[in-house]
Amino acid sequence: MRVVLAEDLFLLRDGLVRMLEAYGFEIVAAVESGPELDAALARSRPDVAVVDVRLPPTHTDEGLQCALRARRARPGLPVLVLSQHVEQLYARELLADGSGGVGYLLKDRVFDADQFVDAVRRVAAGGTAMDPQVIQQLLSRRAGDGRPLDGLTPREREVLELMAQGRSNAAIAGQLVVTERAIAKHTSNIFAKLGLEVSDDDNRRVLAVLAHLDRDR
């Protein structure tokens, strides 16, 4: 799998390259600034781009802007955005085009290499990988409102959280150490309680959940 990597801190870039290569990815470009990233994305048509939000020369949200630009030029281009902090605002912008293949994770998530690589693969395959922090903010907000999530059992809430991060039923089952059948039952309960359409597509599932959580604000 061909990866374009953009990260301005040498140590992190180096670490990411070594880690991704260890998991069998092919790094076609590892760049350190916005303009270089633009060029690399246009030139090498990667399977997935892993991009730091903050990049030179502006040291603002250059990386995010590059990613959004590249996805406008090539809809559905898988992009995984990494950041020192996660903001719903940015998550929304990434999910806005609804074409999937996006991820938005805290940089710390690389501590768990297996899960991180899983997220990269998921995004490359057109799925989503949203940071638990974003999801938790959304869920706690809704819970604070005391509206739609009230009807969920604690277990269902746990499943919803993992689902909203972009995990498949199989992955959720693995994480919670139950059978996939049990998860399927939970998810259909959740969908019923939240009034969402059932869909097999992982990516649409997440978008549906997020859209629901996002409603009426």
Partner 1 sequence: MNTDTKSDVVRDRIREVVLAAVRGLVLALVMLPLSILCLVLSLVSIAFVPLGLGILTTPAVLDGVRRFADVRRRLSQEWCGMPIRSSYRPVPEDASPWTRTVVLLSDPATWRDLRWLAVDMTAGYVTALLPAVLLFYPFEGFAVAAGLWRVLADGHTYWYGFVPVTDQPSALGAAATAVVLLLAAYRLTPRLLTAHFRLTRALLGGGREELTERVRVLTETRRDAVDTSAAELRRIERDLHDGAQARLVAMGMDLGTIEMLLDKDPAQARRLLSQARRNSVEALEELRDLVRGIHPPVLAERGLGDAVRALALRLPVPTEVTVELSGRADAPVESAAYFAVSEVLTNAVKHSGADRIWADLLHADGMLRVTVTDNGRGGATVAAGTGLAGIERRLGTFDGVLAVSSPAGGPTLVTMEIPCALS
Site residues (vs partner 1, CB under 8 A) = 53-54, 60-61, 83-85, 87-89, 108, 111, 137, 140-141, 144-145, 216-217
State which residue, 54 or 186, has the beta carbon closest to partner 1. Answer: 54
Q: Which residues contact 37 (CB under 8 A, 6 or more apart)?
A: 4, 6, 31, 49, 51, 55, 63, 66
CB 85, min distance to partner 1, A: 5
Minimal distance, residue 135 CB to partner 1, in Å? 13
Q: Nearer to partner 1 by C-beta: 37 or 48?
A: 37
Shortest reach from residue 84's CB to partner 1, in Å? 7
Would you say 90 or 191 has its CB closer to partner 1?
90
CA distances 86 to 81, 91, 101, 147, Å, are: 10, 8, 18, 25
Q: How far is CA 185 from CA 115, 155, 156, 161, 178, in A?
A: 24, 12, 10, 15, 12
**What's the token pair of residue 167?**
């995990």
Given the complex with partner 1, which of 168 and 175 has the nearer CB atom?
Answer: 175
User: Residue 115 CB, nearest distance to partner 1 (Å)?
Assistant: 12
